[in-house]
Structure 1
Amino acid sequence: MPAFSLGQTLWRTFNRVIRDWFLVGMLGAVALASLFPSLGKSGGLLHIDQVTDVGIALVFFLHGLGLSMTSLRDGLLRWRVHVLVQLFTFAVFPLLWWLANAALGDRVSPGLVLGFCYLCALPSTISSSVAMTGLARGNVPAAIFNATLSTLLGVVMTPLLITLLVGNMLDGGNGAGGHAHSLTDASLAIARLLLLPLVAGMALRPALHKWHVRFKRYTNLLDRFVILLLVFGAFCNSVASGVWRDQGLEVLGETLAGVAVLLAIVLALTTWTARRLGFATEDEITAVFCGSKKTLASGVPMAKLLFGAHPALGLIVLPIMLYHQLQLFVCSVLASRYGARER
């Protein structure tokens, strides 16, 4: 792609990200929580911790309504793509965290170490993986199957990986206990609050699909509004526990640098591996976009279930918040470049 055309693509993508009210909303939620932590903390004035459980279940029910069984069936046969994506999601990402933690873990705050571990243990995202694959003219049915499979596997794999990698950090590092749920409790809670509504939505899709399509604009708004509430509540708890007092704003720079390096490594590795395995371009696109993504929509609700009232909950969700925005920006550029190839 010529340099001028690439520059135009970068500029359009940058403008699109800047105009995204959701990004502004997340920044606003963090700022508001920093100023008025008593509003949204657990047991606070707004009782957000009680409201969001209903919102989370409703959001995943709506996600289930949006999943087509036909598309899942069509993507089932690309087994090599599926194996590659799931290995990157639940093996390569955690391995990269383990290597980075061995080299740099003692120089980073424990809350941020836990946050990057959590980011690497999360499943892939559904909506943006499929959207980017479609924009790049990749294998969309395989992307739908992989993203959905990743979400289902994440119910067990994410709490299992967190427990195996950093189980000793889940009490907030003070030995008090009671901040995090056990592996069994966390998996059951995730299944009840995320998986059960998702499956219910898929089961009711034939009856409610037309309604869902008609009001999709509003259901998408609900999805993001619930995430903003969760981000606000998480940072209220962390600010009330002294996260900014103890860490300082330089933690934002450290986190952004970390997620940028992580995304660059994973994009390079997925592309190289897909080509070494002789994937068709359409399957390479699916592997790159599904294998490099991490879900914010599941990540923030799952953090609440896994870590409970952990005093560093705001720091724990910070890497996925920044990774989410960065992956959208970078993958939009890549999707445009893939989509511009000769037909």
Structure 2
Amino acid sequence: MQQKQTPSALDRLKELLARAGFDWFLGALIGMILLAYLWPAPGVQEGPLSLGELANYGVSLIFFFYGLRLSPEKLQAGLSSWRLHLVVQFSTFLLFPLLALPWHALFKGGSNELLWLGTFYLAALPSTVSSSVVMVSIAGGNIPAAIFNASISSLIGIFVTPLWMGLFLSASTEGFDIWQVMGKLVLQVLLPVVLGIVLHRYWGAFAEKHRQKLRYFDQSIILLIVYTSFCESFARNMFRGYSIPDLLLLGLTMICLFFLVYGIIHLISRMLGFKREDRITALFCGSKKSLVHGTVMSKVLFPDANMVGIMLLPIMIYHALQLLAASVIAQSMARKAGVAAEGE
């Protein structure tokens, strides 16, 4: 009888990355940027059926389907761990921006100020949903609390993200009106979410059954937004003056930011005496940022379409690096938990 071959560490890591969303999508994102560079014309055309307008409609559908899958019962079940929720939301909406703020003086008025603004936009975004829950599940954390935090973070971000960005965009960007932006977000994002939640009891099971197909739809809209955004930027030479070392430095900054936040959350969780499951949830939910929200909200937040491509660079780089780093950490935690269980 032939023995079953034990998967190698590399095979396990590949499987883990695939479960977390580190798959064809990241390659497709790079492909969209390359396509925008080679063929920007379709992305800059205007009209009721232009690619940009289709992306706008897609944004509302993404948040409608998100609300449709949002179970009020699951949210209610996660309410009890209030200290854990405070730590995660503090990290997501206060710690990240406060870590980025002091660097503004260094880049203000320079050629890399837009890259800093994109980094601050990343810092002001809500936490990601699916990959956070996946990582918490793999590492053996508090899954109901992870679902609650990831979901409530998305709703809070609709209001908090534009408020943070308004501190700088209102002063540096013509045509930025915080109340107008909030109105657009309410109509294009919040209203579809609320409508989806209201209809959850009727279509929630259908949305959950077709979750994977809806995820492909979400990813398609994100790819369309990335393509049109970079078309605008490339067509108007917005990346002129940015070198490869600039982008490498940005990548290094993103990974340092991830581990800095991760370390601070770990310290806070220890100080508050969180049990292992809650500490894992705090670490993975509090250190992640949502590419989905970053991409779709950029359509509303930034009146100057030319700058959107640059604004999305930090979140795209952070998204890739956070998946890689968090996957390795989750695998290590799962392995240690397994060893500990065997020793009992």
Same fold by TM (over 0.5)? yes
Instruction: Indicate the SS of the match to 1:245.
Output: coil
Unaligned runs of 5+ in 1: 172-176
1:158-307 correspondence runs (5 A): 158-169=161-172, 171=173, 177-178=174-175, 181-307=176-302
> Is the CA contact (8 Å cut-off) linking 1:75 and 1:141 kept in structure 2?
yes
Query: RMSD of the alignment, in Å?
Result: 2.4
Tell me which moved more, 146-155 or 333-342.
Answer: 333-342
Name the amino acid aligned to 1:55: G
Instruction: Indicate the SS of the match to 1:312.
Output: helix
- Establish whether residue 61 from structure 1 lines up as the match of residue 56 from structure 2: no
Distance 2:238 2:141 in 1: 42
Deviation of 1:103 (Å):
4.4
Deviation of 1:13 (Å):
5.2
Tell me which moved more, 300-309 or 204-213.
Answer: 204-213
Distance 1:296 1:74 in 2: 27
Tell me which moved more, 199-208 or 7-16.
Answer: 7-16
Deviation of 1:211 (Å):
1.8
Instruction: Indicate the SS of the match to 1:322.
Output: helix
Change (3 A) 1:82 1:45: closer
Distance 2:114 2:93 in 1: 21
Change (3 A) 1:37 1:292: same
> Is the CA contact (8 Å cut-off) linking 2:127 and 2:289 kept in structure 1?
yes
Deviations 1:74-106 (A, max 9, x none): 110111111111111111111110123334556
Deviation of 1:289 (Å):
0.9
Taking structure 2 as the reference length, the TM-score comes to 0.89
Distance 1:306 1:292 in 2: 23
Distance 1:332 1:66 in 2: 25
Name the amino acid aligned to 2:27: V
Question: What is residue 34 of structure 2 aligned with on the other side?
Answer: 31
> Of 286, 293, 315, which residue of structure 2 is paired with 1:320?
315
- Establish whether residue 139 from structure 1 lines up as the match of residue 134 from structure 2: no
Deviations 1:187-230 (A, max 9, x none): 12112111211121122112112322332221110010000000
> Is the CA contact (8 Å cut-off) linking 1:93 and 1:120 kept in structure 2?
yes
Question: What is residue 339 of structure 1 aligned with on the other side?
Answer: 334
> Is the CA contact (8 Å cut-off) linking 1:40 and 1:46 kept in structure 2?
no
Change (3 A) 1:108 1:11: farther
Change (3 A) 1:8 1:264: farther
**What is the aligned-residue identity percentage?**
37
Tell me which moved more, 312-321 or 125-134.
Answer: 125-134
Distance 2:290 2:58 in 1: 17
- Establish whether residue 99 from structure 1 lines up as the match of residue 99 from structure 2: no
Q: How many corresponding residue pairs? A: 332
Unaligned runs of 5+ in 2: 1-7
Distance 1:337 1:72 in 2: 29
Change (3 A) 1:309 1:167: closer
Distance 2:208 2:179 in 1: 36
Deviations 1:274-331 (A, max 9, x none): 1111111111111111111111111111111010234221110111111111111111
Deviation of 1:154 (Å):
0.9
Question: What is residue 124 of structure 1 aligned with on the other side?
Answer: 127
Distance 1:260 1:42 in 2: 36
Change (3 A) 1:17 1:81: closer
Deviations 1:262-285 (A, max 9, x none): 111111111111111111111111
Deviation of 1:58 (Å):
1.0
Instruction: Indicate the SS of the match to 1:243.
Output: coil
Change (3 A) 1:15 1:219: closer
Deviations 1:34-61 (A, max 9, x none): 1112220252897211101111111111
> Is the CA contact (8 Å cut-off) linking 2:258 and 2:322 kept in structure 1?
yes
Distance 1:16 1:70 in 2: 25
Deviation of 1:8 (Å):
6.9
Distance 1:182 1:130 in 2: 35
Distance 2:48 2:237 in 1: 19
Taking structure 1 as the reference length, the TM-score comes to 0.89
